[in-house]
Chain A
Amino acid sequence: MSTATLAEPATGRTLRAGATRAPLGRLIGSELRWMLLRRRTVFALAGLALIPIIIGIGLSVATGSGMLAGGLDTLLRGNGLVLPMLTLLLLANLFLPLIASMFAADAIAGESASGTLRGLLVAPVGRLRLLGVKAFGVAVASLVAVLVVAITSIIIGEILFGGTGMLSFSGTPVGLGGALGRIGLAVLWTTVQLFGIGAVALAISAFTEHPLVVMASTLAGVIVFSVLNNISQLSAIHPLLITNGTMSGAIPGLLGGPMDLGPYGQSMLVAACYTVIGLSITAIRMVNPR
Chain B
Amino acid sequence: MKTKKVTTGIAVVGVLAGAAGLAIVTVPAGADPAPQLPKVSPESLVSSALQAKPAQFGGTVSATSNLGIPLPELKQGTDGNYSAQVYYGGGDKYRLTSAQQGGAQHTTVSDGSTLWNYGSKDRTVNKLPMQQVKAHEKAMQERSKGDPVAMSKQLVGKLRQSSDLTVDGTARVADRDAYELVLTPKPSEKTLVREVRVAVDAQTRMPLRFEAFGNGSSDPALEFGFTKLDVGRQDPALFSFTPPQGAKVTTVDPGKHMDKLKKQPKQQMRTVGEGWDTVLTGKLDAKNAKLPQGKQESGQRNTPAGIMDRFAKPVHGAYGNGHLISTSIGTALITDDGRFAAGLVPQQVLEQALGTK
Known: A170-B105, A280-B12, A284-B11. A74 touches B123 (CB 8 A): yes
In A274-289, which residues have CB < 8 Å from any B CB?
274-277, 279-281, 283-284, 287-288
How many Å from the CB of A207 to the closest CB on chain B?
Answer: 14
Q: Is B210 an interface residue (CB 8 A)?
A: no
Binds A, one of B96-104, B188-196, B201-209, B336-344: B96-104
How many Å from the CB of B244 to the closest CB on chain A?
Answer: 5
Cα A238 to Cα B26 in complex, Å, equals 9
Q: Is B155 an interface residue (CB 8 A)?
A: no
Question: B101: which A residues are within 8 A, CB to CB?
Answer: 70
Cα A289 to Cα B337 in complex, Å, equals 80
Produce 1/0 per residue, B106-125, CB < 8 A to A. 01010000000011111101
Produce 1/0 per residue, B79-104, CB < 8 A to A. 11000010000000000010111111
In A68-94, which residues have CB < 8 Å from any B CB?
69-72, 74-75, 77-78
Known: A77-B246, A248-B78. A276 touches B21 (CB 8 A): yes
Question: B7: which A residues are within 8 A, CB to CB?
Answer: 127-128, 283, 287
Contact B244 A167 (CB under 8 A): yes
Contact A273 B14 (CB under 8 A): no
Known: A169-B105, A266-B25, A287-B8. A260 touches B85 (CB 8 A): yes
Q: Is B247 an interface residue (CB 8 A)?
A: yes
Contact A280 B18 (CB under 8 A): yes
Contact B105 A287 (CB under 8 A): no
Residue count of chain B within 8 Å CB distance of chain A = 49
Binds B, one of A114-122, A145-153, A217-225, A250-258: A250-258
How many Å from the CB of B47 to the closest CB on chain A?
Answer: 34
How many Å from the CB of A185 to the closest CB on chain B?
Answer: 18
Residue from B14, B80, B118 in contact with A279 in the complex, judged by beta carbons closer than 8 Å: B14
Q: Is A272 an interface residue (CB 8 A)?
A: yes
Q: Is B356 an interface residue (CB 8 A)?
A: no
Cα A239 to Cα B244 in complex, Å, equals 36
Cα A287 to Cα B8 in complex, Å, equals 7
Produce 1/0 per residue, B6-33, CB < 8 A to A. 0110111111011101100110000000
Residue count of chain A within 8 Å CB distance of chain B = 46
Contact B12 A240 (CB under 8 A): no
Question: A3: which B residues are within 8 A, CB to CB?
Answer: none
How many Å from the CB of B84 to the closest CB on chain A?
Answer: 11
Contact A235 B118 (CB under 8 A): no
Q: Is B60 an interface residue (CB 8 A)?
A: yes
Give the residue name and chain of the B residue nearest to A171 (CB). Answer: B118
Question: B17: which A residues are within 8 A, CB to CB?
Answer: 276
Q: Is A64 an interface residue (CB 8 A)?
A: no
Q: Is A269 an interface residue (CB 8 A)?
A: yes
A284-B15, A287-B11 known; 16 new pairs, CB 8 Å cut-off, are A69-B298, A70-B101, A74-B122, A75-B103, A127-B7, A169-B104, A169-B120, A171-B244, A173-B244, A249-B99, A256-B105, A260-B85, A269-B21, A273-B18, A280-B13, A284-B8
Lowest 6 A-B CB distances belong to which pairs?
A: A70-B102, A280-B14, A71-B121, A277-B18, A239-B26, A276-B18
List 6 interface pairs A-B (beta carbons < 8 Å), by A numbering: A71-B103, A170-B109, A248-B78, A258-B238, A280-B11, A288-B4
